[in-house]
C-alpha cells in the first residue's frame, strides 16, 4: 500500500533557473494590432478574450493526464492502473512517489498554468482598450480573468510552493519584466497575490443567478468567495474560512449525490465552479480526460489509468452511497446501461470521469467539479473545529453524512472531529483533484 511521508511537493530550484525559458517565457497567445482592435472593440470581442481563458482548461496539458497524475495518482486514493508495463510516461514514478523536478508531469502542469495565466494577463491588458464594449461587461470580464488567474496560482502554490508572480504581460525589452519572470516569490507572497485577485474579483462579479443559462459555467461572486475560503483553509486562517464560507449563498446540496457527475448534473444547485466539457464542436470537451481514465482491455473504452485504490474502497463505510457513485467495478452495469465486463484489465475505475455521451474516443463531455457546496460546508466545519467551536462543527459534518446515507458521526472531541472531517473530505471529494494536497496540508 502506498504511504505518503511528505510535507510539500518539492521541486529543485533549477526548475526556475535552468528551465525558465521553457516555462516562463511564454509567447503571447494573440497579438492585436491597432487595425485589428476594431474587430474586437465590442461586447462579443471583449468576451472572446476571457472565454479563451476558460478554453485553456479544456487542454490536455492543463486538465488531463499530467494533472491526474499529480493530484490523484500520487495520492493514496489511486494507483497508476493501466497495464503493468505501461508507465504513462512518469505515472509510475508519481504512484511510487519517486518523481523529481525533471519528471514530465511536473513540468507540464507548471508550463500549462503559466500559459493560462498569460491568457489572463492578455485579457486584463486588452479589456481597458475596448472602449466601445459595455463598461459593466468589461468590469465583469476583468473579474472573471482575475478569478481564473487566482485559481491557477492556487494550483501552482499548492504544487510547487513559491513561484514567480507574473502579474502583467511581459515586455521582452524590459529588464524588470525579465527579472519578474525569473524571481521565485515566497509562498506567502503568492497567497497574498491570490487573495488580492479574489478580492478584486468579488467586487466585480455577479451572483450566479445573474448569468444567462448559456453562461452558467462562468465564475460568479459565490465562486470567488468559495475559492477565497479554500485559500484561507490552506493558510490556516480559520476565522476567514468561516467568514467567507458564510458569504457563499444561493447554493444547496443536491439530494442525489451521484447525479452531480452525470450529464444532467452539469452546473446544478450544488456546483459553484466546474470546468464544462461541452461535448459539442468545436469545443468537444476536456481533451483525453475520460479516455485516459476509462476501462482498459476487452470491453473497455480507455487507457485504464488512475484506478481507485483498495485504500479508498476501504475508506467508505457500509451503506455510503458515494462509493458506488465514485468507483466503477468490473462486472457491473453503469447508469446508462453500459456493462463493464470482467475482462477489463483493472478491477476498478474512476466513475466521476465517465461520460455516456462520447463525441469521439478522445474528447468527451465529463466535467471537472472543482468547487461544490459540500466542500464549503466541510471547510466551515473544519475551521469551526479549529476555532474550538466543535459543537457547531458537528452538525455541518452530519449534513454531509446524512446525504451519503450514513448515521451521524460518533466523534465528540476536537481531535476526533478533526480526523472525522478529514476522512469525510476524502470520501466526499474523491477524484476531484484535492486528495494529494489535503494530505500535504494536513501532514
pLDDT tens sequence across 210-227: 999 999 999 999 999 999
Fill in the DSSP letter of residue 427.
H
Residue 73 burial by Cβ neighbours in a 10 Å radius (0-12, 13-18, 19+): buried
Choose among 353, 403, 411: nearest CA to 377. 403
CA dist 430 and 52 (Å) reads: 29
pLDDT digits 0-9 by tens, 321-330: 999 999 999 9
What pLDDT, on a 0 to 100 scale, did the predictor assign at position 37?
81
Calculate the alpha carbon distances from 373 to 102, 223, 317 in Å: 37, 10, 22
What pLDDT, on a 0 to 100 scale, did the predictor assign at position 263?
87
Strand ranges (DSSP E) for 276-344?
Answer: 286-287, 305-308, 327-329
CA dist 139 and 203 (Å) reads: 9
> What is the pTM for the complete model shown?
0.93
pLDDT digits 0-9 by tens, 4-48: 433 334 343 333 333 434 434 345 444 566 667 888 999 999 999
CA dist 359 and 363 (Å) reads: 6
C-alpha cell belonging to residue 111: 508550463
CA dist 88 and 86 (Å) reads: 6
Bridge partner list, 371: 273
Phi, psi of 344 (to 5 degrees): -65, 155
pLDDT digits 0-9 by tens, 144-173: 999 999 999 999 999 999 999 999 999 999
Is residue 429 a contact partner of residue 375, using CB atoms and an 8 Å limit? Answer: yes
Ordered DSSP codes for 191-245: HHHHHHHHHHHHHHPPPGGGS-GGGTTS--HHHHHHHHHHHHHHHT-HHHHHHHH
pLDDT digits 0-9 by tens, 300-312: 999 999 999 999 9
What pLDDT, on a 0 to 100 scale, did the predictor assign at position 360?
59
Alpha-helical regions (H) of 57-165: 60-63, 65-68, 91-96, 104-126, 135-160
Alpha-helical regions (H) of 70-134: 91-96, 104-126
Fill in the DSSP letter of residue 2.
-
Residue 413 burial by Cβ neighbours in a 10 Å radius (0-12, 13-18, 19+): exposed
C-alpha cell belonging to residue 38: 476594431
Q: Which residues of the chain have pLDDT under 70?
A: 1-35, 279-284, 357-361
What pLDDT, on a 0 to 100 scale, did the predictor assign at position 285?
84
What pLDDT, on a 0 to 100 scale, did the predictor assign at position 2?
54
Calculate the alpha carbon distances from 118 to 22, 152, 228, 230, 293 in Å: 14, 11, 21, 23, 29
Is residue 117 a contact partner of residue 162, using CB atoms and an 8 Å limit? Answer: no
Amino acid at each position: 500500500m502506498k504511504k505518503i511521508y511528505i510535507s510539500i511537493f518539492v521541486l529543485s530550484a533549477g526548475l526556475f533557473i535552468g528551465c525558465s525559458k521553457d516555462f516562463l517565457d511564454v509567447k503571447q497567445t494573440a497579438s492585436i494590432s491597432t487595425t485589428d482592435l476594431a474587430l474586437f472593440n465590442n461586447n462579443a470581442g471583449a468576451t472572446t478574450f476571457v472565454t479563451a481563458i476558460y478554453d485553456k482548461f479544456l487542454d490536455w496539458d492543463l486538465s488531463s493526464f499530467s494533472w491526474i497524475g499529480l493530484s490523484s495518482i500520487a495520492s493514496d486514493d489511486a494507483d497508476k492502473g493501466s497495464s503493468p508495463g505501461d508507465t504513462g510516461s512518469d505515472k509510475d514514478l508519481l504512484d511510487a512517489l519517486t518523481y523529481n523536478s525533471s519528471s514530465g508531469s511536473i513540468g507540464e502542469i507548471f508550463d500549462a498554468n503559466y500559459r493560462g495565466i498569460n491568457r489572463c494577463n492578455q485579457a486584463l491588458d486588452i479589456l481597458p482598450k475596448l472602449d466601445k464594449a459595455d463598461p459593466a461587461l468589461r468590469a465583469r470580464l476583468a473579474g472573471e480573468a482575475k478569478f481564473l488567474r487566482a485559481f491557477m496560482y492556487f494550483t501552482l502554490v499548492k504544487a510547487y510552493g513559491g513561484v514567480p508572480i507574473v502579474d502583467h504581460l511581459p515586455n521582452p525589452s524590459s529588464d524588470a519584466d525579465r527579472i519578474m519572470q525569473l524571481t521565485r516569490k515566497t509562498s506567502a507572497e503568492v497567497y497574498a497575490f491570490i487573495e488580492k485577485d479574489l478580492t478584486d474579483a468579488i467586487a466585480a462579479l455577479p451572483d450566479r443567478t445573474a448569468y444567462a443559462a448559456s453562461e452558467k459555467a462562468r465564475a460568479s461572486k459565490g465562486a470567488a468567495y468559495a475559492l477565497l475560503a479554500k485559500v484561507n483553509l490552506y493558510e490556516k486562517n480559520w476565522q476567514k474560512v468561516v467568514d467567507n464560507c458564510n458569504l457563499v449563498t444561493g447554493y444547496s446540496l443536491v439530494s442525489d449525490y451521484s447525479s452531480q457527475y452525470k450529464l444532467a448534473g452539469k452546473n446544478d444547485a450544488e456546483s459553484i465552479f466546474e470546468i464544462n466539457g461541452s461535448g459539442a464542436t468545436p469545443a468537444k470537451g476536456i481533451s483525453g480526460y475520460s479516455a485516459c481514465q476509462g476501462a482498459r482491455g476487452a470491453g473497455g473504452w480507455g487507457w485504464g489509468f488512475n484506478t481507485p485504490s483498495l485504500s479508498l474502497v476501504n475508506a467508505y463505510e457500509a451503506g455510503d452511497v458515494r462509493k458506488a457513485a465514485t468507483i466503477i467495478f468490473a462486472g457491473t452495469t453503469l447508469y446508462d446501461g453500459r456493462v463493464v465486463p470482467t475482462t477489463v484489465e483493472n478491477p476498478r475505475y474512476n466513475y466521476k470521469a465517465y461520460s455516456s455521451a462520447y463525441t469521439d474516443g478522445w474528447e468527451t463531455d465529463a466535467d471537472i467539479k472543482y468547487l461544490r457546496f459540500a466542500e464549503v460546508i466541510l471547510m466551515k466545519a473544519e475551521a469551526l473545529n479549529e476555532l474550538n467551536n466543535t459543537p457547531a462543527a458537528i452538525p455541518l459534518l452530519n449534513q454531509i453524512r446524512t446525504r451519503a446515507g450514513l448515521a451521524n458521526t460518533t466523534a465528540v472531541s476536537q481531535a476526533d472531529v478533526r480526523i472525522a472531517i478529514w476522512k469525510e473530505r476524502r470520501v466526499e471529494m474523491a477524484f476531484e483533484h484535492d486528495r494529494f494536497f489535503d494530505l500535504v496540508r494536513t501532514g
